[in-house]
Amino acid sequence: MAEIRAEITANVWQVRAEEGQMVAEGDEICILESRKMEIPVVTEIPGVVRELHVAEGQVVHEGDLIAVIDES
């Protein structure tokens, strides 16, 4: 299992993945918005999204858990 965490404090603008979805390396999990800039959050490993911990409109802080990817 791999955890994807927020690198900055930002608003969750769009959630692009769903629990149970297969993702490939480089796929967007969500898009954060900070200071009118869009920051894509991508997975660095392929697998299945097991847990999604964000919703559109939510504020995340640096280090907050966004998703858990099952690599197996």
CATH number at residue 28: 2.40.50.100
- 42-62 residue pLDDT tens: 999 999 999 999 999 999 999
Any residues with CB less than 8 A from the CB of 35 and at least 6 apart, and which? none
Domain count, the chain: 1
Measure the CA–CA gap between 66 and 41, rounded to whole angstroms: 9
* Residues of the chain predicted below pLDDT 50: none
Which residue range forms the structural domain that includes residue 53? 2-70
pLDDT at 72: 73
Reported pTM: 0.90
